[in-house]
Amino acid sequence: MTQRLQNFLWQMTVAALMLLPVCSQADGLLRIGLQLHNEPQTNRPCTANGQQDYLSTCLVMDSLMTVFARHGAKITFEMGLGNALSTPIWGGVGVRGSAPYMVLHPEVVHIGTHIHYPADGVGFRDKFCPPYLEDNIAEASLTYAQYALSADRRHDTMVAVTGQEIRGVCGLWSRNLNLRWEPALSATGYEWVTGWNNMHPPGGSTGGHAWATSVNPWRVGHDLTNDYKGGVLDSYYNGAMALLPDGAVSGRMNPNENVSFALVDSLMQENWLAGDPERINVCYLTVHDYEFKSGGGIDYAEFRAWDSLLTMLDDYVASGQAIYQTMDEMYQDFVAWEVQGNISYPHNGAFEARDTVVYWTSPDGHAEILEYNLCWSPLSGSPSVGDGQDTTHYRHGRYAYRFGSDVTLRGIGSSTEGKHIYCVVPPDTAVEFRVWCHVEGSAQPLLGIRWYASPDTTPNTPHLSEVTGASTDSVAGDWSLITLRAEVPANATALRTCLYKLGSGLLWYDDANLRYVSGALETPVLTIRPVSAEQIQLRWTSISGASVYRIHYDTSSDGSFSSYLSVAAPDTSAIIDITASPIMFYRVIAVAP
């Protein structure tokens, strides 16, 4: 538990890095991966065909690894509990395609966890032998402790089977809003989670896994959804878990979806055009191991199809547009980008995803809903004809946001379907809001940052105060980079960004981003170890120039860091008494004189 907690605490420090500005590590590349689901209820050791089922999955994985290695492509194997329980019985290093075998080939495959728990549906409950106690409890009756214990047990099983730390997971969302999957996963030791938006084509038929238009990872805050398949809808940025969205391709290789290479190629173009040159861009396809099985055997035609598909995707890599990665590599690149002070806020800062329902039509005429964004909503005034997403002028991709009337936009959404409504920010820091703009006539750009006491509020909650301004930082052609820097007020824990237009004329905004620029020197690397049943010891790395270290902590499960203790430099450790009340999150910040 100590190692997992240490990993979690380090992840939390990364989530709130406040470094002095340096060059971003964003490279404009589209990172392409494959998420291969191994369903938790399959490959179980207690069923009559368990061994055959398990070994056929190993054969599928070995064959896929061979195909992907030939292209330099990579797989993220989301291992189910049944597969993990069977591995010590039937799998080992000598069994090609087993978890121990995959661990020896990190250049091709990385292992994550496919939990799919809890869900009161066939295949997800009462399927293990013997089942864990919480597996017999209806989802509506589960306590948070039971819920978190289930995640912890499954994580421990995966670690024991692979002999390595498992950082990524797919599926712990719940329809019971009292079961907060974000802190449950974080406390267990997971650092990133994959998405499952549960989008539906028109007409209400079931859609694929997550046909979203977003390709930029972000850190998920308070989950607002009442559907575990829609667990990526959140109310604020800077939660503990990094979400890796799948772009517009996931689920499209399922044979039941009448997939064609032209379809995947078109969707991949959507991903490429939706990318943001200032951020990390990711996408992945999602398949299941059973899709490569047929009539009790292996469907080798499916492997040949994937070989041909990868040949097509190789063109993106060869052209310098994309690279192949596992999802753990995507996460590591995202963290490296964050370390430079960058924040994945506001959502849809490049304006490439539409503000309302996004319809997309495939080459064969099939239309579907891609995503419900609702993330740049009017704050005041009435839009004029032509306002909104526009192709007349744009800095990159396909769109910028056009202002013809005096309408204020803010990076928020509705209280039930929004994304990044708020951005949680720590005290003693300063942020910089950066947006590119193109002006015609006498229009003038103006940026705003509104401060809030809490991130857990509704979109119409009154703000504490607002700072506005617009300084021209640089000019590139007919586009100017304008910035607004502001220190976080002492009574504020969250912000929202606003865009304004002053004067007559037209104005276009594109590529809006937020970053930390000053205040704290740095967030040191933090470790923790138990001293006794009543005390723990925190230790952190020394930061040159620090006069004091602030230990921020929170006694609730949302990680909002409501209080802090001060330790004068050069001391780099502290003993914390945990008997009075459980302290769930820690972060240490080095502060300059």
Instruction: Return the DSSP state at 290.
Output: G
Sign of torsion over alpha carbons 217, 223, 225, 226 = positive
More confident residue, 357 or 499: 499
Query: How far apart are alpha carbons 328 and 309 in whole angstroms?
Result: 23
Strand order in the sheet with 573-577: 526-530, 535-540, 573-577
Q: Is the pLDDT of residue 303 over 60?
A: yes
Average pLDDT over residues 438-459: 84
* Contact residues for 222 (Cβ-Cβ < 8 A; gap 6+): 180, 182, 234, 235, 236, 239, 455, 456, 558
Question: 60-64 long-range CB contacts below 8 Å, 24 or more apart?
Answer: 60/97, 60/289, 60/292, 60/293, 60/298, 61/36, 61/97, 61/98, 61/102, 61/109, 61/289, 62/96, 62/97, 62/101, 63/97, 63/292, 63/298, 63/300, 63/303, 64/36, 64/292, 64/303, 64/306
Average pLDDT over residues 165-169: 89
More confident residue, 185 or 93: 93
Instruction: Return the DSSP state at 391.
Output: S
pLDDT tens across 394-443, in order?
998 888 888 877 666 655 443 333 445 678 887 778 889 999 999 998 88
More confident residue, 419 or 193: 193
**DSSP states along 513-539:** EEEEEEEEEE---EEEEESSSSEEEEE
**In this predicted structure, what is the pLDDT of residue 337?**
87
Phi, psi at residue 422, to the nearest 5°? Answer: -130, 160
Q: How far is CA 156 from CA 81, 109, 115, 475, in A?
A: 11, 20, 12, 53
Pairing of strands 408-410, 494-502: antiparallel
**In this predicted structure, what is the pLDDT of residue 204?**
32
Average pLDDT over residues 41-58: 89
Name the CA radius of gyration of the chain, rounded: 24
Hey, what amino acid is at 557?
S
366: tokens are 């099939």
Three-class SS of 50-64: HHHHHHHHHHHHHHH
Helix axis angle, 300-318 to 261-274, nearest 10°: 30
Contact 40, 365 (CB under 8 A): no
Q: How far is CA 523 from the centre of its chain?
A: 21
**In this predicted structure, what is the pLDDT of residue 97?**
95
* Contact residues for 228 (Cβ-Cβ < 8 A; gap 6+): 119, 171, 172, 173, 174, 175, 181
pTM of the full predicted structure?
0.79
Angle at 231 between CA 494 and CA 112, to 5 degrees: 110
Q: Is the pLDDT of residue 307 over 80?
A: yes
CA atoms within 13 A of residue 551's CA, in its CB half-sphere: 24
Q: Is the pLDDT of residue 528 over 50?
A: yes
Q: How far is CA 89 from CA 14, 46, 84, 161, 445, in A?
A: 39, 11, 10, 11, 65
More confident residue, 235 or 458: 458
- Report percent pLDDT > 90 for the chain: 22
Average pLDDT over residues 48-58: 92
Of 71-80, 209-218, 288-297, 372-381, which has the strongest mean pLDDT?
71-80
CA-nearest of 475, 369, 468, 474 to 410 is: 468
Q: Is the pLDDT of residue 119 over 90?
A: no
pLDDT tens across 72-114, in order?
999 999 998 889 999 999 998 999 999 999 999 999 999 998 8
Phi, psi at residue 485, to the nearest 5°? Answer: -105, 140
* Contact residues for 31 (Cβ-Cβ < 8 A; gap 6+): 280, 281, 282, 283, 322, 323, 324, 325, 329, 330, 333
Q: Is the pLDDT of residue 287 over 80?
A: yes
Q: Is the pLDDT of residue 122 over 50?
A: no
**In this predicted structure, what is the pLDDT of residue 434?**
93
Query: How far apart are alpha carbons 518 and 459 in whole angstroms?
Result: 28
Contact 455, 556 (CB under 8 A): no
Averaged confidence pLDDT in the chain: 75
More confident residue, 515 or 340: 515
More confident residue, 67 or 42: 67
Average pLDDT over residues 502-517: 87
Average pLDDT over residues 44-54: 88
Average pLDDT over residues 524-529: 69
CA-nearest of 246, 254, 253 to 270 is: 246
